Structures are given as C-alpha cells and as structure tokens.
Chains A and B, each alone.
Chain A
C-alpha cells in the first residue's frame, strides 16, 4: 500500500532514505549490454513494490523482459500495440476498480517514440479521464528497437539513421517538451528523473505513487548502441546529461515547478556530447549552438518555476 505523500516527503527529507532491497526485476532479461532501460525498470519496481501491474507497448520494452516463456519481472505485465499505452492503462485501472482492487498501482511504461509521437493521443486521453496511474517514459531519444530512427524526443543535432546529417529540416525544433505538454493537459504530478540519480528516481516514483490521478515520470535512459558510446559509460553519460543541463531534473507538483537536483558548477555540454559518437559530426559552432539552446532552456525553466510560485 502506498504511503501518504506528506509522510514520504518527510522521510525523504530526513536523509535516512535507502533504496529498497526487494528485487522485482531478475536476471535473464534480454537488454543489450549497458542499456539504461533495465536499470530504470529495476529502480522503478523497487520504488513501487510488488502491488504493481504494468503495461508496455512495442519498443525495446517489449523485448527486454524476456522472450516467451521466459520472463524476468515479478509483477504482472501486459503487452499491447504501440500507440495505446495510456488507453490500456485506463482499461486496466477501470477493471481493477470495478473489482475493488483500488490499492494496486498501474504503470504504463513506454519509450519516447511510443510516448511523444504515436502514443501522445492515448496518453492525453488517459490524463483527461483522470486515470489513476503512473505513466513512465524511458527516454533513449530515438526509435531504438527499430534501429535508431529519429523521434520527437531526439535532441537537436543528434545523428540517427533518419537524420544521417544530424540536423535534418524535418526535426528542427529538437526535443518535444513532453512534461510541460502534459502539465498543460492536466497531469497531477510529473518529474524528470535519471538512472544516474537512483535515490532521486526512487523518491519521485514513490511521491508519484502516493498521489491519486494521472502521474508522469520522464526517465533518461542511455542507449549505447544508438548513442554510439562505450557501454561501460552508461551511468557516467547519464550523469553528465544532468550536470551539463542537457537533461535537467525537475518536477511539477501541487501546481508548482521546482528543480529536484540543483546543478551547481554546470559543466559545458561538450563534455556530454564528446562521449557519444552520435554527436561526432558536430562542428564547434554547432556545439556552441547546443550550449546556447541549453542555456536558454534553463533560463526558460527558471522563469517557469518562478511564475508557478507566484
């Protein structure tokens, strides 16, 4: 049973917080070496506990839990079509409620393409219906399961197989701001989290679990094969994403935005970019363009937080 939000937050603030020991993800999954997704899954399930059911669309998330009849998770899991994660969660929730099983946490777990592009309509509908569930988007910043095609969550300048030059006309605006879109849609709680900050990930997941209504977690999840990086550097790269401001950690709760991981001594984006060959083609000018984008984005986020506190 989820604990109350207030109690949880006090516990987290007291500094005693530890990562739960119970393992709900077991060996035998079929992720690539260095994949961020199983790290994210393992942490999330530790946070939520065993009274959790999950539904997943197409994507690496449909492959990683194992190939029938093998299965590496210790929670019930439903696989479904690509664009209907939100709707499927709504249906599971409705039936659990009809059967009086209100204490079970329903999680929709989907990739970035399955969320910000093809699954956006369904997610928006689930928020509109007020479905009591947690939607988790693990973000590897492209359609990875089909071989690294550009998605609406691919950062500006990144190489993918459909943006071979890095900066294609068709993807000029960079990453869609999914969290802010969902806030405007009426979501109850939303946060960005990062596998390189596991305590924070667990805190945000548990806070989300304690709140009724539709909740959203956006997890950065490096993909060594798609990002063309050393698979032993997954956590290092993920950490740099936040330390450089490429992937700031913040939440939306009680109508307010706030940073959840203050970035002190922000590092230049180049430190993050140079570890990944998907950014290898970038010229110094383009790298400083990305630095500008990040600076602007953080200023804009600051302003948004300021405004939400008024």
Chain B
C-alpha cells in the first residue's frame, strides 16, 4: 500500500510493524509526532505494546534497558537535547548489549536555542557503541527501522541502533511511502528471543562490576561484534530487497561513482539533492558521483577505501566538532590514509539552513577545479552569509 507519510509517521508505523512490546517516550521537537502517533495507535488498540510516559529521556532509555533484559522488543525516539541527556545511558545500552532501536530526529543542540535540523546531536553520539543509520527519505526511514531490529537483535551483534531522520526536512515532510504487509514483515523480522534473558529460574546478574582483569576483553567483544555487524547489515539489506523489492546498497550507496573523478561523500536527506545535481552535471559531461554514507557506525572502512582511486574526495559534514575538520571528514580521511588523492571538508546545512542544489553544484565545481589546480583549502563552510568560511 502506498501512503502519503511524514518520516515520523513512517517510523511509528515501522515500530508497529516490528511488533514492539515496550515503548518509553518523552517529547522533544522534531521527534514528538512519532510518540504521539504511537500513543494513538496504542489507544485505538492497533499496537499491543506497553506504552510508558517518562519523566526524561534519560529515564526513557533506562526503562528500555530494563525491559530489554526481560526479552521485550523495545522502542523510543528522541532528538537533540533529549539524545544528549541520554548520553550516559546510551553507553549503558551498548555496554550491556541491549538491542534497542531508536529513531533520532537529527537536530541542533543549544545554546542558543535552535530547534531545526543538522547532525550535531547524532554525530556527538558516534562513539557510544550504537550503530547509526542515516536515511535519505521517508521510505528509507520505515525500511531502516525494520532492518535495524534485524541487525541489532542478531545474536552475533546485540548492539543498539539509531535511525537518523533529518529534522523537519524528513520528519515533517510528506512523501509517498510503501507500507509493507504485516505478514511479510513477520517473515523478515522474527520475534526477539535473547539468550540469556532475565529469568527467575536461572538467577543471573547483568551489568555488574567488572575489574581491570576482564574489562578490556568485554570492550574487545563489543569492538569485534560492531565490526561483524557490517556483514549483518549487508545481509539484512539484501534480504530486505528479496522480500520487499527494494534495498539500499548496504553501508555506502555509490551513485554514478564508477567512472567519476570526483566524489562527494554525504549523509542524510542532502544526498538526495546531491544525486540530482550529479545527474545534471553528468549531462554536461562532468565525471562526478556521490557516495552516500548510509551507515556511519559501524564505520564502512572498506567501502570508503574503495574510493581511493578517485582523484578528489569531498566530505560534507552537517555538523562541526571543532577538531581538524568535521567528524565525517576525519574518519573518511583516515580510512583513505596512504592514498594520494585530495580530500576536502565541506561544512553546511547547520541549524535548519537548506542545503540547496546550488550549494552542491558549487561544491562539485570546486572539486573539479581542485582536480585541475590542486587543493585550495582543507575546510570550507558552505553558504555563509558573507561568502567567507574558508581556511
């Protein structure tokens, strides 16, 4: 069935299709309509889940960690300050291996206040042991929530996942979304049966104190399993394609990169715009392409290293982490270490500012210029009011 849905509606419907058993919610813009829609589904009897109203996002995540130990499939959604408030318990969730799935309506973090979209909130949480899926459109949001459960709950993974939805650009914009049939979802996503599980007849302790003699081994296991999740993501994506007739290319979606000289690495909804621009520049005979970073955790090192043969790589960061360039830029650059191509960081689309086709076209022409004349500068803030922003 094709429906006209916002990405938030798509996320809520995906939670229902996934037959979640426990949800814990707390309001924050632009996530709130997910929780509201779920409340309606629960009160109409369409969603058979325990629906908990929490006193904070910290509590929402804590409640889900508890529920997940009992073996319930759990769900919450948040954004921005809510995600930041969860920081401590995000690390608990991954550290104690709870496969919680959480859409995040990606947004700024104040101050000053700004409720609009960018990736700062999710990028800040890149190091907490959660998988991160960045969605391009509303369909992908629905599909990725289902895939995320499949990967997270895989016994070889058992790590939580964020499904990143660009604030307002996707969360509040209606698009055509194909809603899969329940029986197909059931076929794709079996029920959650973790082992071990909290059980009175087999009383164990979960998450208890670990001394230096074992801690490193525990962290190493997480690192290994996060690495192993790459393969699971590719499999989950391929199986999704078989059952539902669409998939997303695994961790990185390469768009017209085969013969490209310059490639822009970009995540989220702006990748859609970038693909449009690529088509238009290709008509001019320019050899440009897009590598859409669909999964940032686990980091797609192999896929990025495959771009080593490209002469110029641009990395677009929709956030800024005050290091030696943006966070995505740095990780891409490090995955390409040793290759002799040129890598440049573009920063833009902050605090709800549009990333327009004109911005992207400017970026591609700048990269083509670098191809001929060499790197002009390492970091470029795109679309600043006074046209500066270069160093």
CB within 8 Å of B: which residues of A? 50-53, 55, 62-63, 65-68, 71, 73-81, 83-84, 86-92, 94-99, 101, 104, 121-122, 124-125, 128-129
Contact = CB atoms under 8 A, between A and B. Distances in A.
A76 B199 contact: yes
Q: A-B pairs with the 6 shortest C-beta distances? A: A91-B63, A91-B66, A125-B55, A84-B62, A87-B59, A95-B70
A67 to B, nearest CB: 5
A74 B200 CA distance: 9
A88 B65 contact: yes
Contacts of A55: 66
Contact of A78 (B64, B71, B74, B207): B207
Given A51-B200, A74-B203, A99-B72, A94 B62 contact: no
A87 B143 CA distance: 30
Given A66-B208, A88-B62, A94-B67, 15 more contacts: A65-B205, A66-B205, A68-B205, A68-B210, A76-B206, A80-B62, A81-B58, A87-B60, A87-B66, A88-B66, A90-B52, A95-B22, A122-B59, A125-B54, A128-B55
Chain A CB within 10 A, most for which of B24, B70, B71, B211 = B70
Interface string B57-99: 0111011111111111010000000000000110010000000
Contacts of B205: 65-66, 68, 71, 73, 76-79
A96 to B, nearest CB: 6
Contacts of B59: 84, 86-87, 90, 121-122, 125
Nearest to A62: B209
Contacts of A92: 66-67, 69-70, 198
A76 B50 contact: no
A194 B225 CA distance: 47
B208 A67 contact: yes
B53 interface: yes
9 contacts: A68-B208, A74-B203, A77-B208, A78-B66, A80-B92, A84-B62, A84-B89, A122-B56, A125-B59
B56 A121 contact: yes
Contacts of A65: 205, 208
A3 to B, nearest CB: 18
Given A71-B204, A89-B66, A129 B209 contact: no
A78 B67 CA distance: 11
Given A88-B65, A95-B21, A63 B52 contact: no
- Tell me the dominant secondary structure on chain A's binding face: mixed
A91 B64 contact: yes
B214 interface: yes
A42 to B, nearest CB: 15
B69 A94 contact: no
Contact of A95 (B54, B72, B207): B72
B144 to A, nearest CB: 24
B176 to A, nearest CB: 34
Contacts of B58: 81, 83-84, 87, 122
Given A53-B198, A81-B62, A83-B58, A71 B92 contact: no
B204 A76 contact: yes
Nearest to B26: A125
Nearest to A96: B70
B49 interface: yes
Nearest to A128: B55
Given A73-B205, A80-B92, A94 B50 contact: yes
A51 B90 CA distance: 29
A45 to B, nearest CB: 11
B326 to A, nearest CB: 30
A86 B56 CA distance: 12
A92 B70 CA distance: 7
Interface string B263-298: 000000000000000000000000000000000000
Contacts of A80: 62, 65-66, 89, 92, 207
A87 B63 contact: yes
Contacts of A97: 50
A104 B203 CA distance: 13
A81 B211 contact: no
A138 B209 CA distance: 19
Contact of A79 (B60, B198, B209): B209
A95 B68 contact: yes
Nearest to B51: A94
Contacts of A128: 55
